[in-house]
Amino acid sequence: MSVRKQKKYIIENNYVAEVEVELIDNEDGWSPYLGVEDALKLDKIRKALKQNDIQSIRDIAKIYTLSPLAA
């Protein structure tokens, strides 16, 4: 079993959250997968973004805003 870090991006409303999680690699067919803590962290971040509650997640994710470009 090995663990590697990877960045995940969550997009909700006009925000993008960049979160570092650990992926667990095994020799079985279900690999790679998230641990429970990281899965709960992603759920918390997604919920906060939907509610525009950026302050509660600023310590665990980098938050970016999206804006449309005039073409």
- Domain residue spans of the chain: 2-65
Do residues 69 and 62 touch, judged by C-beta distance below 8 A? no
pLDDT digits (tens, 9 = 90+) for 24-35: 998 877 889 999
Q: Which amino acid is at 10?
A: I
pLDDT 10s digits, 56-66: 999 999 999 99
- Amino acid present at 60: I
